Structures are given as C-alpha cells and as structure tokens.
Amino acid sequence: MSRGAKATRAGLKGYLTRTMDKIKQYKNLSVAAELDNDLATDTELLKQRYQKFIKANDPVRWTLQSTNATEEKIEQDYSAVAEV
C-alpha cells in the first residue's frame, strides 16, 4: 500500500474525527453569533475534508485490490471508512 496515500488518509481521518467531536460539543448549547459562525465554518471545512478523504480512499482501495489483499484486509479498510 502506498505510504503517501495511507498517511494522507490517516491525517484526514484524524482531522474529521476532531472536527466532528468539536461540533458535537456545541450542538446543545445556546450559541452566540460568533460561535454560530465558527460552527458554520467548521462544518463547511468538514464537508470539504470529507470529500478529500473519500478521494484519498480510492488509491488505497485500488492498491489493496491490485495486490490481491485478503478479504479481511479489504473489509478492515471499508470498516475504517465507515467509522468516519
């Protein structure tokens, strides 16, 4: 598997997780205009990063399939994506 694609995907997954956790923290608070703007910005960035994450998965999956990876390894990869 390509180290670059794997590292990119891992970095994006970490970012997505941190941002989603941050958004969840504020979900039930009454929000001021500044916080509302911050959350809207974070939500938009999250959508953009998620699209990059999906694109980063393609080379990883292709590598897994082209190297005749076991079904278990491919299933682990799909599970990792589903967690996000």
For 50-75, what is each residue's pLDDT tens digit? 888 888 777 877 777 777 777 777 67
pTM: 0.45
Mean pLDDT of the chain: 77
pLDDT given at position 30: 65
Identify whether the C-beta of residue 62 lies closer than 8 Å to the C-beta of residue 32: no
- Measure the CA–CA gap between 30 and 39, rounded to whole angstroms: 12
Model confidence at 47: pLDDT above 60: yes
Angle at which helices 33-66 and 71-83 pack, to 10 degrees?
170
Domain hosting 16: range is: 3-83
Model confidence at 84: pLDDT above 70: no
Rounded mean pLDDT of 23-38?
73
The count of structural domains within the chain is: 1
